[in-house]
Chains A and B, each alone.
Chain A
Amino acid sequence: MAAKRLTRAEKKRRQFIQTMGMLGVVTAGALAGIIPSVKGWANRLRPPGALTEQKFLAACIKCGQCVQVCPVNAIKLADIGDGVGIGTPYIDSREQACDFSCDGLQCVLACPTGSLTHEVNFSHEVDIGIAKLVRPKSCLAVNGQGFKGPARGVDFKGLMRYQEVDRWNPIPIADHPYDLELCDLCVRTCPIEIRANQCDIGKPPSGDEQQCPPKRAIRLVEIDSDDGVKRMRPEILDGCVGCGVCEMICPVEPTAIIVENNELRTGKYPRV
C-alpha cells in the first residue's frame, strides 16, 4: 500500500507539533535549572552587598563586571551545575577571600542591576556570611602553637593587601611569611579588626571616620589549660561580615575556621 501523501496543511501541522515538542523539551531543560537553587545544592557565598539569594538570582544579569573590578580576583562565575545560578558571581574564600583591599566596594559599584545593593558603602556594612570555628581541635592557637613561614605554603596563589608593605597593591600571601609565638593569623589579618585598630589609635582608613567599624569581628580568648601551655581560642563577634580572610589565611589543612553562608543575609541592609 502506498503511503498516504500529506497535504500542505497536514505537513504544516505535523511540523508545528514537532517544533512545539522540541520547544517543550528545551523549556523543561531550562526550568530544571531552578532545582539546584531551590534545593540549595549550590550554597554559594555571594559578593559584598548581595541581596537575599532568591532576589539576587532574579536581579543578577550575569555580566561579570564585579569579577573584572576585584583587585584580588576573589569573585568567580558559577557554571551550569548551578542551574539558574549560571553565570552568577560567588566567592570561594579558602582559595581567595575578599580582603576589601579595593576599599570602595568596587564590585557593588560595578553592578548594573542592583543585585549587589548600592545601600552598602563600607566594608563593615557587608554581610557575606559569618565565620565559624568548625575544627577547634586543629586550631593552632587552641593547641597553644605558634606559626612560622608563609601561611598557606609557597605555592598558594591567594592575594592580600598588607598596608605596611604596599598601600595600593595586593601581594601574594606566599610572599609575606610570618613568625608568631602563638598563631593569631585569623585575628591579625581580619580586615574589620585592622580597620578597628586603626580607628582606636585615631588613624581611621583614608582619614575617614565613617570607615570605622562600630563592632569588633574576632578576638582570641584564653582557655583553661592544665599543662601550663598558653592556649587561646578564636571567638567570632557580631562585627564579622563573612569576608573570608580568616578562612583563606588559616594555615592548617583542612582549615579550622570557615565562613558559613549567612541564611539571614537579610536584615542588615535594606533589600529593596
Chain B
Amino acid sequence: MHKDFDINIEHISKTEGHASIEINVKDSKVEDVKLKVNENKRFFTQGIRNKPFEIIPQLISRICGTCSTAHLTCNIEAIEKALGVKPSEQTMLLRKLTMYGLMIRDHAMHLYFFCLPDMFGKDSVLDFDESKNHLIEQAFEVKAAGNNLSKLIAGRAVHAIYEQIGYFSSIPKMEDVKKSINELKSVRNNVVDLIQLFYDSNFNFERQTNFVALVTDDFNFVEGKIKSFDGIIIEESDYWDYLNRVVIPYSQATGFQFEGKEYMVGALSRMNLNKDALHKDTKNELGKILNVFPSMNIYHNNLSQAIEILHSIDHSIEILESNDFKEEKKPEIKAKQGKGVGVVEAPRGTLYHMIDLDKEGKVRYGNFVIPTAQNQIKMENDIRILVSKIIDKDKHEIQHEIEKMIRAYDPCMSCASHFLKIRWK
C-alpha cells in the first residue's frame, strides 16, 4: 500500500527554544523535510556594531541563557585576540573550570530531563513514579554540583559576572574550593550510573558523516586545534575558510557545510576525535565503554555527554586540588584596530566568534557560527532517512521517533537563530 501523509510537529518539546518540523510523504516516499527554527531573531550581529568592545561580551552572553558562558568565553577570547591581550595561566585555568561547570550542569539537564523520559517511555520527568525518585535525586545533585562550580568560579551559572576580558574580577576562596571539591567527588558515582544507563540503551540510528571539533591533549573545552574525522587539522583562526553558509529560507537559522559537505559538531564529535585525551580517572573508570567510539550512532551523542560530565568532574577536581588561586592585577587593555577569532567547544559543539574592531575599539563587524546551525543540515538529512526507514509505522510513532532523534542532538534553537544575516533573493 502506498502511503500519502504529512507530519507537522508544531513545537518540538524538551529542547532548548522553539523549532518545528514539516514532512511530506507521497507514494511512501519522503518528498520534503523542513526543520524550522522558530526563535525570533534579536539581531545581535547588527546590534553590536559601533559599540565599544568593553560592553560586547556581556551583551553577546544574552544570545543564550543555556550556554551563555560558552558565548561569553568565546567572545572574550575573540576580543583578546583582536587587542593582543594575553590572559594569565590562572585566568586560563579559571576559564576551563567555568566551562566545566557549564558542561556538568547543561549536559545533566539535557540527559536527565530531556532524554531519560524517552528511555523510560514517559512524557516527562514530572510523570516518573516513586521508583524513580532516587534517580531524580541523583540528577539534581549532579546539576547542583555544576551550578555551584559555576557560581564559585564565574559568579553565576547564567550570564556569569566574574569572567572579564583579560582576567577574573573575583578569585575563589580556598574554603569554598574545598567545598566544591567535596561536592564534585560526592556526585561522581551518580554520573557513573548515568553513563551505564546510556551505554545499555538500545536506541540506534547510524549514518556515516564527518565530525568536527576543537581538540586538546587534556580535553578542555577552551583551547586547541580544530580537527575533522576525515583528517584535516586547522587553526582556530582559519575555521571560517572551511565553512559554507547555506541559506535555509524557511528557518530563522542558517545552515553550514564543512568543505562543502554535511558534518556534525558536539559531544559525539569530540569523543570520536579525542577520547584518548579524557582525564585518566575517567578512562580508568570507564574501561571498555570507551571502545564504543568512534561511533556513527547519533544516540551515542548522549552517551558522550554523560562521559563528558565525568571528565569535567575529574579534571575540575584535579585543577582545584593542585592550584592556589591568588588575586591578580587587572591587565592594562587599550583600544586598537584589529580582528580576533575565538573558538570554544560549547556543550552542543564548536562555537566560533570573530570580532573586527576599529582604532577606537568599536565593533566594525562580528561573525558568529553556532553549533546547532552547523548540525541543521545533518539533522534534516537524518530525519529524511529515519522516516523512510519507519514509513510503515503509524504517524504518531513516526512523530515520536523524530522528536526522540532530534533530542539526541540536544539542539539549542535560541543560539541557532540569532546570527542570521543572509540575503534571500
A and B: interacting chains:
no
Chain B residues in contact with chain A, CB under 8 A?
none
